Amino acid sequence: MEQSVRANSWQGSLPKIGIRPIIDGRRGGIRESLEEPTMKMAQACAQLLSGRLRHPNGMPVECVIAETTIGGAAEAARTAEHFRREGVGVTISVTPSWCYPLETIDTDPHMPKAIWGFNGTERPGAVYLAAALAAHNQKGLPAFGIYGKDVQDMGDGSIPSDVQEKLLQFAQAGLAVAAMRGKSYLSLGGVSMGIAGCIVDEAFFQNYLGMRNEYVDMTEFVRRMERGIYDRDEYARALAWVKEHCRTGEDVNPPSLRRTAEQKEKDWESVVKMALIGRDLMIGNPKLAEMGYEEEALGHNAIAAGFQGQRAWTDHFPTGDFMEAILSSSFDWNGTREPLIMATENDNLNAVTMLLGHLLTNSAQIFADVRTYWSPEAVKRATGQELSGAASGGVIHLINSGPAALDGTGEQTIGGKPAMKPFWEITDEEVSRCLAATQWRPAIDFFRGGGYSTDFTTRGGMPVTMARVNLIKGIGPVLQLAEGSTVELPVDIHRVLDERSDPTWPTTWFVPRLTGSGAFKDVYSVMNHWGSNHCAVSYGHIGSELITLASMLRIPVGMHNVDEDRLLRPSVWPAFGANDPTGADYRACQAFGPLYR
């Protein structure tokens, strides 16, 4: 299968990382002796990041090193201008020595910034690090401090593993911040069934994410479908691919509500067109310009979107489930490619959470209802059997008809274990397994317009992170997350529990990692503390990365089970209460305010 790597699906260049080599500016032997080790430190940092990081579209991350070392305000200004020309979106300052903080720091208020101070004794960069961070804090410009645990010798060009980990974590989160800036969230329709997460709060998108909001009524789908405003050749290819690879599952509707074979065939044609149109609305399509639709060809520069669907659309037209699921997956009829983030029910807050997870992992996301907590006692009563192993303390049933990416089957592997991978690592065989593990079930009775929903069960043993951004009056956005793993239940237990909800929808059985206290006292407590009906699920334990990213955006984290030694936040956060990290996070975010206020 081919890989579809685009230079960039959105307007604007891909953000770069700017490396700022900071130096003691005193001439007469001091600066001269430091030029080589300082620049080598910058080069080593750039080599690490460029070698280990990729953008979600598969392109390698570029680092831009300042043209000269920075010993004062003039060189700092010259570097800032250089970085603006190069499209730098995040900066890392590096130094092995003492320098003059106020004259050399990065003062761009919107640029995520970190300082790596070399842990050495000859000319300790740690002294500059502490002084420069103090200057940032006093000026209200939060910066991340990176400092190795072990002393190194001057001239040692290696980067200790603990420093590498922090540099990579900071850079990935900073690139996510930069990637969102200037992009759009596209609302396809309005509020679905009174769900508050569908209400678009423009101040949140503008002030916290640096994004704009675009709105398109769902009738635009009707116009484009009826007038043929889509790539006809691609449609024919997509429909043929669907007929070959997408298995239609059992129809569980009563006979009186089942659609005819002819209607179901038409439904497939409609949902494939919807997928093409939804993609074109988000990122545009030059083919449309060739057809005479120059305006439509542009798209809305949407890095994320949501489709209202229920009920205005689904009472009459086929559901958006196929469109949402296939766009959110890492492959389609064109081969493997970067997933597009599209939320069901226009839940823009869950779309944002999916987007954060995607930008941090480069992989697809699972959208789900946080549907049911099944206690061991309730499972025994319903099935006559007992839960065991990782599920012995109960499980959370994650299930929704909408955009659970087909990657969520767990049929991709890393080291022989179930995984969800960046598209460039996915093999043809893995794509085939994901498709084979998925059935497309005719929509159930309350989707009166027909259509198809994905039906699969996620394989057990995947480390995953469940997350959600909620808006709270008086606070603003708050992130909550739970690291844990997927589990597989015995077939007889799964079948009984699944059929009590909706057997035509994809199921992920989730067990959070427990701490024994608070929201993570037990599985029930996690469910009971969850702040919405929806969540996004990312592959891997990325709680620390999400927390780092949230701190850059000034979004407090109200619930998490990440070990304290994995946390990486701006150096000023402990000033708001070192013995109360959660409270300090809230106070710091309130004090500094949203990144783009």
User: Residues 431-445: what's their mean pLDDT?
Assistant: 94
Q: How confident is the model at residue 81 (pLDDT cuts 50, 70, 90)?
A: very high
* Residue 479 pLDDT: 98
Q: Is the pLDDT of residue 127 over 90?
A: no
From CA 125, how far away is CA 121, in angstroms rounded?
8
Lowest average pLDDT, out of 6-20, 162-176, 472-486, goes to 6-20
Residue 502 pLDDT exceeds 90: no
With a cut of 70, say whether residue 7 has pLDDT above it: no
pLDDT at 524 over 60: yes
Smallest Cα–Cα separation from 174: which of 581, 449, 550? 550
Spatial distance between the Cα atoms of 558 and 297, rounded to a whole number of angstroms: 42
User: What are the tokens at 555?
Assistant: 């979004």
**pLDDT value of position 1:** 53
pLDDT of residue 355: 98
Burial of 169 (0-12, 13-18, 19+ CB in 10 A): buried
**Tokens coding 159:** 């980067």
> Would the pLDDT of 322 be above 70?
yes
pTM of the complete model: 0.96
Residue-wise pLDDT for 380-425, tens only, equals: 999 999 999 999 999 999 998 777 899 999 999 999 999 999 999 9
- Within 8 A by CB and 6+ apart from 516, the residues are none
pLDDT at position 462 is 98
Could you tell me if 162 and 149 are in contact, meaning their C-beta atoms sit under 8 angstroms apart? Answer: yes
Predicted confidence (pLDDT) at residue 470 exceeds the cutoff of 90? yes
Q: What span, in angstroms and rounded, lies between the C-alpha atoms of 249 and 261?
A: 13
Sign of the Cα pseudo-torsion (356, 361, 363, 368, in order): negative
pLDDT reading at 122 higher than 80: no
Task: Quick: pLDDT tens for 473-493.
Answer: 999 999 999 999 999 999 999
| Nearest of 67, 93, 90 to residue 79 by alpha carbon | 67
Q: Encoding tokens for residue 373?
A: 């907590």
Whether 512 and 523 have beta carbons less than 8 Å apart is answered as yes
- Tell me the C-alpha distance between 30 and 214, whole Å: 55
* Mean residue pLDDT across the chain: 95
Rounded to whole angstroms, the Cα distance separating 178 from 173 reads 9
Segment 561-579 mean pLDDT: 96
* DSSP letters spanning 203-224: HHIIIII--EEEEE-THHHHHH
Q: Which residues are annotated as a binding site?
A: 345, 369, 534
* Of the candidates 297, 273, 184, the residue with the CA atom closest to the CA atom of residue 223: 273
User: Looking at the DSSP assignment, which residues form a beta bridge with residue 336?
Assistant: 3, 331
Residue 471 CA to residue 195 CA, distance in Å, equals 13
Structure tokens at 546: 């999400």
Split at pLDDT 50, 70, 90, the class of 444 is confident
Provide the token pair at 109: 């208020």
- Report the alpha-carbon angle 83-204-545, nearest 5: 60
DSSP codes joined into one string, 473-511: TTTEEEEEEEEEEE----HHHHHHHHHHH-TTS-EEEEE
Residue 443: name the closest of 435, 456, 434, 452 by CA.
452
Give residue 123's pLDDT: 63
Q: How far is CA 401 from CA 6, 275, 348, 397, in A?
A: 29, 16, 17, 13
pLDDT computed for residue 58 by the predictor: 95
Lowest mean pLDDT among 36-50, 119-133, 174-188: 119-133
Backbone phi and psi for residue 485, each to the nearest 5 degrees, phi listed first: -150, 155
With H, G, I as helix, E, B as strand and everything else as coil, classify residue 6. coil
What secondary structure does DSSP assign to 230-281, as a single string?
Answer: S-HHHHHHHHHHHHHH-EE----S-GGGPPPHHHHHHHHHHHHHHHHHHHHH
**pLDDT at position 449:** 86
pLDDT at 6 over 90: no
Segment 156-172 mean pLDDT:
93
3-state secondary structure 136-160: HHHHCCCCEEECCCCCCCCCCCCCC
Contacts of range 125-128, beta carbons closer than 8 Å, 24 or more positions apart: 125/94, 125/95, 125/96, 125/97, 125/98, 127/98, 128/22, 128/95, 128/97, 128/98, 128/99, 128/101
The whole-number average pLDDT for the span 155-166 is 89
User: Burial code of 503-526, b = ≥16 C-beta within 10 A, e = fewer?
Assistant: bbbbbbbbbbbbeeeebbebbebb
Residue 230 reports pLDDT greater than 60:
yes
297 and 286 in contact (C-beta within 8 Å)?
A: yes
Rounded Cα gap, residues 364 and 421, in angstroms: 8
Pull the structure tokens for residue 115. Answer: 């300082």
C-beta atoms surrounding 237 within 10 Å? 14
Task: Provide the pLDDT confidence category of residue 60 given band limits of 50, 70 and 90.
Answer: very high
- Could you tell me the pLDDT band of residue 12, with boundaries at 50, 70 and 90? confident
Known binding-site residues for Mn(2+) equal: 345, 369, 534
Residue 242's Cβ-count burial label (10 Å; 0-12, 13-18, 19+) is: buried
pLDDT value at residue 339: 97
Place of tokens 């994410």: 209
- Return the higher-pLDDT residue of 304 and 154: 304
pLDDT of residue 155: 73
Check pLDDT > 60 for residue 3. no
Percent of all residues in the chain with a pLDDT value above 70, rounded to a whole number? 98
Q: What is d(CA 569, CA 554) in angstroms, rounded to the nearest whole number?
A: 10
> What is the Cα–Cα distance from 234 to 333, expressed in whole angstroms?
9
pLDDT in tens, 259-316: 999 999 999 999 999 999 999 999 999 999 999 999 999 999 999 999 999 999 999 9
Q: Is 168 exposed, middle or buried (0-12, 13-18, 19+ CB in 10 A)?
A: middle
User: What is the DSSP secondary structure assignment for residue 489, as one 8-state letter?
Assistant: -
Does pLDDT of 71 surpass 60? yes
What is the Cα–Cα distance from 548 to 554, expressed in whole angstroms? 10
Q: Running DSSP on this structure, what letter comes out for residue 427?
A: -
pLDDT at residue 508 greater than cutoff 90 = yes
Q: How many Å is the maximal CA-CA distance in the chain?
A: 92
Q: Residue 261's closest CA among 442, 476, 85?
A: 442
Burial of 368 (0-12, 13-18, 19+ CB in 10 A): buried
Catalytic positions: 345, 369
The order of strands in the sheet holding 341-344 is 212-216, 184-188, 302-307, 341-344
Mean pLDDT over 557-572 rounds to 97
Average of pLDDT values for 454-464?
97
Task: Give the residue among 423, 452, 56 at the shortest CA–CA distance from 253.
Answer: 452
Asked if pLDDT for residue 446 goes beyond 90, the answer is no
